[in-house]
């Protein structure tokens, strides 16, 4: 449903803010037609749009390998995964639309660079093993981020995340399985798997966003129950999950400082290169231009399909009177 | 209610999916499509990729009339003071069965 913005008189505004605060205090969900502060709405639109954009831009690095998948089984799996990413984008665009923005507006902002997508998708997929590494690490990091979002205070976003998370676990497992096959294969295959993990490890850690001390939106988002855990906390959780999995894969993680800290009960890990993160964010990653150019081209080349579908629908409406 | 969007582009549809025979259709989400037939096909691709459904309804979102969240308290108030509508309201002596 499209959101209908309620415009209360001055007297009602205080009561509405109180009702909103009470709902958050009771850990209740906010639904599209409920009153909400403008900044809460704007924050959600920014975050959900960025999330939706990431899903559809994220189709590109993996789609790059569909025609060259090493077997029919891997190809079918990869196509299903890329199709899921499109689906996730659509769930999320729908959730954003309940906040009173149009899909055209969101796509336009993506195409003109006024809204962002996750920087991870600005890295290239150089070998087949990258598909496995993306499934294991990138989807693994995404799941770590997304599971708490299933309890996000905004109902439509939380519900979309429940669907997404159910589907993501297949993505991560297929990646792990694919990497395991390579790791246990020939020497060259093992080396290819190791190289992919070496390249994707650090960008995956950056997916959790800047350190808590530098994260501009975190505190407010946590107060609004949009975000449930801090960036650093989620990153730590992800590292703890990955280390034993890397051992099971027979692969190493490219961090000489990675070691178990008995006292903290977590792994210690090395410093992240935030300069690289900021460069990619600024548009200077290896594939920023290519990803956006592809997206714009796909949109432009699909225009005739949208027009034809609409013309067909209009003709039939007229015929019906 | 016309099934056609106003803007000359896709309109929004609400999707309801029956997960298996014997259950009612439940709201799955929404999507864009130019007409009902495309909405059904898109709904199949978007909401039933893993055998989540055996039947789908699509309804133009503009056709849904919703109660207002502002009036939620007065609107639902009439049912708030009628606990006698619930079986637990009534006392039954111990040992009485099948009641």
Q: Render pLDDT for A48-87 as a digit per residue (tens, 0 to 9).
A: 999 999 999 999 999 999 999 999 999 999 999 999 999 9
pLDDT at A13: 74
Mean pLDDT value across residues A154-161? 97
Q: How many CB atoms lie within 10 A of CB A239?
A: 21
| Residue B9 pLDDT class (50, 70, 90 cuts) | low
* CB-CB under 8 Å, A2 with B61: yes
Mean pLDDT value across residues B26-34? 95
Q: Which residues pair with B29 in a beta bridge?
A: B15
A interface with B, Cβ–Cβ < 8 A, is: 1-2, 6, 31, 33-35, 80, 83-84, 87, 90-91, 94, 97, 103-104, 159-160, 163, 167, 306, 309-310, 312-314, 316-317
Does residue A11 surpass a pLDDT of 80? no
Does residue A7 surpass a pLDDT of 60? no
| Residue A1 pLDDT class (50, 70, 90 cuts) | very low
pLDDT at A215: 84
pLDDT at A298: 96
* CB-CB under 8 Å, B10 with A34: no
| pTM across the whole model | 0.91
From residue A319, give the alpha-carbon distance in Å to each of A180, A312, B6, B50: 58, 11, 18, 36
Choose the mutation target among A83, A313, A321 for the interface with B, i.e. most B CBs under 10 Å.
Answer: A313
CB-CB contact of A36 with A153 (8 Å):
no
Element (H, E) at B27: strand B26-33
The structural architecture, per CATH, of the domain B11-88 is Roll (3.10)
Helix/strand/coil for A143: helix
- What chain B residue is nearest to A167 in terms of C-alpha separation? B50
pLDDT at B77: 86
ipTM of the complex: 0.86
pLDDT at A156: 97
pLDDT at B1: 33
Does residue A163 surpass a pLDDT of 70? yes
Element (H, E) at A174: helix A155-183
**pLDDT tens, A207-258?**
999 999 888 888 899 999 999 999 999 999 999 999 999 999 999 999 999 9
Domain range annotation of chain B: 11-88
10 Å CB burial of residue A125 (0-12, 13-18, 19+) is buried
**pLDDT tens, B41-99?**
999 999 999 999 999 999 999 999 998 887 777 888 888 889 999 999 999 999 999 88
B6 at A interface, C-beta within 8 A? no
Among A139, A133, A163, A134, residue whose Cα is nearest residue A149: A163
Does residue A299 surpass a pLDDT of 90? yes
Does residue A92 surpass a pLDDT of 60? yes
pLDDT at B68: 84
CB-CB contact of A157 with A48 (8 Å):
yes
- What chain A residue is nearest to B49 in terms of C-alpha separation? A84
**pLDDT tens, A136-151?**
999 999 999 999 999 9
Structure tokens at A104: 């055209």
| Residue B8 pLDDT class (50, 70, 90 cuts) | low
Phi, psi (5° rounding) for residue B26?
Answer: -125, 155
pLDDT at A10: 52
Does residue A3 surpass a pLDDT of 60? no
In this prediction, what percent of chain A has a pLDDT beyond 90? 89
Does residue A12 surpass a pLDDT of 80? no
């Amino acid at each position: 449903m499209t959101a209908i913005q309620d415009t209360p008189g001055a007297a009602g505004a205080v009561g509405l803010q109180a009702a909103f605060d009470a709902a958050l205090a009771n850990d209740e969900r906010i639904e599209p037609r409920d009153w909400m502060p403008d900044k809460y709405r704007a924050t959600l639109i920014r975050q959900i749009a960025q999330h939706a954009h990431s899903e559809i831009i994220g189709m590109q690095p993996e789609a790059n390998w569909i025609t060259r998948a090493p077997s029919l089984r891997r190809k079918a799996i990869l196509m299903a995964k890329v199709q899921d990413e499109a689906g996730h984008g659509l769930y999320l665009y729908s959730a954003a639309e309940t906040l009173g923005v149009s899909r055209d507006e969101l796509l336009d902002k993506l195409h003109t660079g006024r809204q962002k997508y996750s920087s991870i998708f600005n890295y290239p997929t150089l070998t087949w093993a990258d598909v496995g590494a993306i499934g294991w690490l990138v989807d693994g990091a995404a799941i770590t981020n997304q599971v708490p979002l299933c309890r996000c205070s905004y109902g439509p976003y939380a519900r979309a995340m429940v669907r997404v998370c159910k589907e993501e676990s297949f993505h991560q497992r297929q990646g792990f399985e694919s990497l395991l096959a390579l790791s246990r294969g020939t020497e060259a295959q093992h080396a290819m798997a190791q190289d992919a993990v070496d390249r994707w490890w650090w960008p995956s850690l950056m997916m959790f966003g800047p350190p808590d001390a530098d994260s501009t939106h975190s505190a407010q988002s946590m107060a609004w129950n949009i975000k449930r855990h801090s960036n650093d906390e989620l990153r730590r959780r992800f590292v703890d999950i990955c280390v034993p999995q890397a051992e099971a894969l027979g692969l190493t993680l490219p961090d000489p400082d990675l070691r178990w800290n008995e006292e903290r009960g977590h792994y210690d890990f090395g410093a992240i290169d935030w300069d690289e993160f900021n460069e990619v964010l600024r548009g200077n990653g290896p594939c920023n231009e290519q990803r956006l150019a592809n997206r714009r081209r796909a949109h432009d080349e699909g225009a005739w399909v949208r027009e034809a579908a609409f013309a067909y629908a209009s003709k039939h409406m007229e015929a019906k009177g | 209610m016309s099934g056609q969007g106003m803007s000359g582009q896709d309109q929004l549809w609400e999707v309801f999916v029956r997960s298996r025979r014997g259950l009612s259709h439940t709201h799955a989400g929404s999507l864009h499509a130019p007409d009902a037939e495309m909405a059904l096909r898109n709904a199949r691709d978007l909401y039933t990729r893993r055998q989540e459904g055996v039947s789908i309804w699509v309804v133009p979102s503009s056709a849904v009339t919703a109660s207002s969240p502002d009036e939620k308290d007065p609107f639902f108030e009439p049912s708030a003071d009628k606990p006698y509508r619930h079986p637990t309201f009534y006392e039954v002596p111990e040992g009485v069965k099948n009641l």
